[in-house]
Chains A and B, each alone.
Chain A
Amino acid sequence: MSNNETSDIQAFRNQAARLHRRLSHWRLLEGIFWLALAASWFLLPSRHMLINEIAVLGLFALSLDLILGYAGIISLGHAAFFGFGAYAAGIITKYGVTDPLAGLVIAVALTAVLGFATSFLVLRGSDLTRLMVTLGVNLILYEIANQVTWLTGGADGLEGMNLGPLLGFDFDIYGAVAQAYSSVVLFVLFLIARRVVHSPFGWSLRAIRDNPLRAAAIGVPVNRRLIAVYTLSAAYAAAAGALLAQTTQFASLDVLAFHRSADVLLMLTIGGTGYLYGGLIGALAFDVMHDILSDITPQYWEFWIGLLLVTMVLVGRERLGRLPVLLAERLLGRKPGHAAE
């Protein structure tokens, strides 16, 4: 090889390496986002519980983004894992496990098993089948929770949760500890998710989403990867549910309700999928909207949410989202997807 050619190749290698590192580099806007979250703890002391809820919902939406935005699995029943995690975290406090972190880990582990077991249902069939199956699992779990009143409290909800202090700090009524707890857990899990999506595993997920036939033709064991990401997603959703139960010291059938699954889809619709921040932004927008609308029309805010959904679909999520696109490019250097494209 002549000197020219070697240096050309070398230049390409450098370019490639830079390209790859650029994708996983932290960006300024990302830093601002997390700093703002941390700052809100100091600057908005009256809103601890609200921000706590946003963090929880954001984590829930993030979990759905993992399967929807990155692997292309449409789920209409992700609340199954959210609710299972919530109930698990709540119930084990009544059986002696009062440490929040231990409860979190156990709830996540149990739900991961559930996720693994149900993952086989979403491997086959069309998008419609997946919608049905995930919805079916969600509804079954709801019914079970409804029936097993000795364990879950049924329609009355889970009473008598006995939660101990978190690392020495008791959960206060203002929610300061709660918000800190949720925010840190969200951040840690986000970091993990970030590493995962930039790995070869993450690449293969996107390939499966874009073209499962070709992914298999390149040697990707499609089913195994889908099972893995579905289980991971269930674990993340469970973490969110557990956080909710622990920080509100309560769990009711509402955590398994269909509207939870619908709401989280709405959040990802607002925020965009496939770049990890969509769920967080969507949760923020959703909760703020909910807050504002509930003050105006406490009973009928559902109508406005429905109207928002209808409008967003009619207008077209692509045309709506200049802002998410810009954000996505700034935040992760990549255009966001619009789920199931």
Chain B
Amino acid sequence: MLTNLFDGVAYGMLLFVLACGLAVTLGLMNLVNLAHGAFAMAGGYLTVVMVNHLGLPFFAGLPLAFIATAIIGVVMERLFYIHIYAKNPLDQVLFSIGLIFMADATVEYFAGSSQQFINLPDFLKDRFEVLGVSVGYYRLLIIIVCGVTAIALQTILTRTRFGSRLRAAVDDRRVARGLGINVNLVFMLTFAVGSGLAGLGGALGAEILGLDPTFPLKYMIYFLIVVTVGGTSSITGPFLASLLLGIADVAGKYYIPQFGAFIIYTVMLVVLIWRPHGLFGRATTK
């Protein structure tokens, strides 16, 4: 049972890293970017290329995935997303669905539709025993990397000037501009970091979540659930929501396999009915 808990925590933290970019862009720019999963997919596939085909070590591939996807994010943001910030949610949804379709088809064209696996260093595939719990090295790595990331994000958000600028811009964009904060730059950097994290998550998650062209659509709902349940006004909200979801999903699939997937959707519906702004969110002035 504790193994399940451990696995659930790992899964949850992975979801967090994947989804927090979406949470921040949604809360900050009111941007409904369903294509967020496409960035994760990009990160995953890039890592496959780097590690499997170019021979780079896995641990070098991870930060490179982050950087490469962040760059892609910046390019996409400057070229395309910047035009749809002001549009209504339906337009943004349509736009991002279009992007998903394009990304899916492109990836399928270049890499085929079968699942991709990253060549992991051997020791990561092992498990070890501690206190009667079977711990996989890979999942331990995930927890460490994602945990460090979460702490770093929280620190940046609450203790740096960039963080306070970001929070000001989230609360009220106009006032932030009036205070001299370069809101556009904040947007761009945030989008870049969010995409980069998605890419990192995609690289880390390839082993556990399965990397193939259907990734963005398959996991879109999970990211949306994290954001919906966790709210968009903090880091801790999505973090706790991801953990909750990860544990619920793993436990659900283990104990009641036929209904494993339902647990997640039902949790989401229940939360949305009870608290339309998420468990931890609050309505911001838009």
Query: Which A residues are within 8 Å of any B CB, using their own CB?
Result: 74, 76, 120-121, 124-129, 131-133, 135-137, 139-140, 143-144, 147, 258, 262, 265-266, 269, 299-300, 302-303, 305-310, 312-314, 317, 339-341
Point out the residue from A303, A308, A317 that lies within 8 Å of B91, measured CB to CB.
A317
Rounded to whole angstroms, the CA-CA distance of A262 and B34 in the bound complex is 12
With A136-B269, A147-B258, A300-B109 in contact, is A309–B89 under 8 Å at CB? Answer: no
Contact check, B105 vs A300: say whether CB atoms are below 8 A apart: yes
Contact check, B93 vs A76: say whether CB atoms are below 8 A apart: yes
Residues of A near B217 (CB, < 8 A) are 258
Rounded to whole angstroms, the CA-CA distance of A63 and B269 in the bound complex is 23
Closest-by-CB residue of B relative to A312 is: B94
Rounded to whole angstroms, the CA-CA distance of A303 and B109 in the bound complex is 10
Contact check, A262 vs B32: say whether CB atoms are below 8 A apart: no
Question: Total number of A-B contacts with CB less than 8 angstroms?
Answer: 118
Q: What band does the interface of chain B fall in when counting residues whose beta carbon is under 8 Å from A?
A: 35 or more
15 residue pairs bridging A and B, Cβ less than 8 Å apart: A121-B272, A121-B273, A128-B32, A132-B268, A143-B262, A266-B94, A300-B108, A306-B100, A306-B101, A308-B98, A309-B95, A309-B97, A309-B98, A313-B95, A340-B89
Contact check, B272 vs A307: say whether CB atoms are below 8 A apart: no
B102 at the A interface (CB under 8 A): yes
Closest-by-CB residue of B relative to A258 is: B217
Closest-by-CB residue of B relative to A135 is: B221
Residues of B near A300 (CB, < 8 A) are 105, 108-109
B179 to chain A, nearest CB (A): 27
Contact check, B276 vs A126: say whether CB atoms are below 8 A apart: yes
Contact check, B261 vs A314: say whether CB atoms are below 8 A apart: no
B190 at the A interface (CB under 8 A): no
Rounded to whole angstroms, the CA-CA distance of A269 and B79 in the bound complex is 23
With A314-B84, A340-B88 in contact, is A306–B94 under 8 Å at CB? Answer: no
Closest-by-CB residue of B relative to A310 is: B98
A149 to chain B, nearest CB (A): 11
Contact check, B99 vs A306: say whether CB atoms are below 8 A apart: yes
Residues of A near B105 (CB, < 8 A) are 299-300, 302-303, 306
Contact check, A313 vs B94: say whether CB atoms are below 8 A apart: yes
With A129-B272, A302-B101 in contact, is A310–B90 under 8 Å at CB? Answer: no
With A258-B217, A302-B101 in contact, is A129–B94 under 8 Å at CB? Answer: no
B15 to chain A, nearest CB (A): 16
B279 to chain A, nearest CB (A): 13
A119 to chain B, nearest CB (A): 12
Rounded to whole angstroms, the CA-CA distance of A262 and B216 in the bound complex is 14
Rounded to whole angstroms, the CA-CA distance of A72 and B62 in the bound complex is 44
Known: A131-B93, A135-B224, A140-B262. 6 other contacts (CB 8 A): A131-B32, A131-B89, A132-B228, A306-B104, A309-B94, A317-B91
